Amino acid sequence: MFGLFHKSSDRPLSEKGLLGVLEYSQKSSRCIGQLADDNRVSANNLMTYGSVLGDDLTDVTSRLGHLLIQWSNILMEFQDSVDQYRDTLKSITVKEASLQPGRDQKRKLRDQIERLQNSLSSMDKVNNLKEQLAQLEEFTAPDEAEMSNFKRIATREGLYLLLNGMHAMSSKSDIISTFGKYIVDELDVDPVKAGEERRPYTGAEKTKRIQEDAQRAIEQWNPDKAKVRRTLTAH
Amino acid sequence: MFGLFHKSSDRPLSEKGLLGVLEYSQKSSRCIGQLADDNRVSANNLMTYGSVLGDDLTDVTSRLGHLLIQWSNILMEFQDSVDQYRDTLKSITVKEASLQPGRDQKRKLRDQIERLQNSLSSMDKVNNLKEQLAQLEEFTAPDEAEMSNFKRIATREGLYLLLNGMHAMSSKSDIISTFGKYIVDELDVDPVKAGEERRPYTGAEKTKRIQEDAQRAIEQWNPDKAKVRRTLTAH
């Protein structure tokens, strides 16, 4: 009998874990959305800060600010991937719920059999219940098997969605960081003494091109084929 | 006179922007920390979910869970970079504060001169104030010039810190996503009919090696030399 009880207490542990994933991946998703928002406001403030501080600071903070705002869009795409991951795992709980009535009935029968066997009651009664249980188990077996199959498929699908999203987010973020540095390189940091004029800023054409190239690199980005996994629900 | 007033109203705009960057980059930093926490809890729940669902799900969720927990560490390092970025920009406001008394005095003198000139008062009084202003401007000019130099250096430094951090975060996150997919690939998703046994899981050795390789790749990761910028305050 231990086997049966062991099994029925395993399920709640697994369910608890799954509900935890759903809860905390939703929290993660919200964090990423919040980060996208805060970063956007911060980038706008960076542009305001530099807007009146001379040609070089004005240009560099403006170009980089626009790139950092792009980063917020990248984060929002990633938030979307986390949501898809979550939705996919949630489909497991939805499917599990449809199996619950049958499972409850089986547990009830097992409890009854256990009780009657301990109380040394009539074998007839016990055998009758055992037969009911066997029938119910046979009847629900295909659905339980399908559930077990589905769990693997949905888990794999969900994790691929998460990891594909992470791949896109990291590749695009790295584009921001690389091109961003090229822009910052244009800042003139040579010290100028009081009364001297800072030499005229000549980087504007270059930073414009860098920003456009970065934009294009992000738009045209495609996942590394060796790394991406085809998913069923990804759009 | 317009030039002077223009300048004095420019400064608050720039300061407002800088304070905005400080406020919202702090919020970003907190979001990243929160994301690291939520992701860690989610990863632990993923392991709990899979822990009782058969050899393949148990192994894959456990190995991937550990990788995702690594991702939280990567996020915490990134949080550190955002904090360094913020601290570096904050040093500008600290330095600005030390110039404030002199600036207030100059503004007061300019206001007085403006008022007296409009009221057609004695030229002597006006000329005296103008001389005071000129002396004060000469006296504070070196500090103001140094402030202007410092602003460029600190801004560049801060932005490099942020972008270097973003480079590290994205490269390491991509390691997680790449190796993570190799682990998920080991999940057996072939459907099994009711009554049939799932074929024995054979991926455990492989996923162990993948997790160790990922760990090593993250630990031994070094920034792309063409992309990184040397900073003064980075450790």
Q: How confident is the model at residue B52 (pLDDT cuts 50, 70, 90)?
A: very high
The verdict on residue A19 lying in a domain is: yes
d(CA A174, CA A214): 10
Whole-Å CA distances, A10 to B36, B49, B151, B193 = 29, 10, 61, 22
Q: Is B88 on the interface with A (CB under 8 A)?
A: no
pLDDT higher than threshold 60 for residue A235 = no
Domain with B105 in it: what CATH number? 1.20.1270.60
Contact B68, A21 (CB under 8 A): no
Give the mutation candidate from A170, A188, A192 for the B interface (greatest B CB count, under 10 A). A170
Instruction: Tell me which chain A residues have a C-beta less than 8 angstroms from the C-beta of B229.
Output: 181, 184-185
How far apart are the CA of A69 and the nearest CA of chain B, in angstroms?
13
Count of domains for chain A? 1
Q: Element (H or E) spanning A159, and its range?
A: helix A123-184
Percent of chain B with pLDDT over 70: 91
Number of helical (H) and strand (E) elements in chain A, helices listed first: 4, 0
Give the mutation candidate from B38, B143, B171, B172 for the A interface (greatest A CB count, under 10 A). B38
The verdict on residue B229 lying in a domain is: no
According to the model, what pLDDT value does residue B133 have? 93
Q: Find the length of chain A.
A: 235
DSSP A199: P
The verdict on residue B196 lying in a domain is: no
The verdict on residue A228 lying in a domain is: no
Domain limits for position A165? 13-186+203-220
Nearest neighbour of B25 by CB, restricted to A42, A164, A169:
A42
Q: What is the pLDDT of residues A34-85, one digit of tens each?
A: 999 999 999 999 999 999 998 999 999 999 999 999 999 999 999 999 999 9
Which residues, in sequence order, are CB contacts of A2 under 8 Å at separation 6+? none
The verdict on residue B147 lying in a domain is: yes
The verdict on residue B121 lying in a domain is: yes
The verdict on residue B84 lying in a domain is: yes
d(CA A213, CA A173): 14
Closest of B159, B28, B24, B147 to residue B89, by C-alpha: B159
The verdict on residue B43 lying in a domain is: yes
Contact B175, B221 (CB under 8 A): yes
Q: Where are the alpha helices (DSSP H) in chain B?
A: 2-50, 55-118, 123-184, 204-219
Question: What is the value of ipTM here, to two decimals?
Answer: 0.90
- What's the whole-model pTM score? 0.90
Instruction: Give the tokens for residue A39.
Output: 């970063």
Closest of B86, B84, B71 to residue B235, by C-alpha: B84
Contact B211, B63 (CB under 8 A): yes
According to the model, what pLDDT value does residue B3 have? 39
d(CA B43, CA B56): 17
According to the model, what pLDDT value does residue B11 have? 76
d(CA B166, CA B54): 38
Q: Is B10 on the interface with A (CB under 8 A)?
A: yes
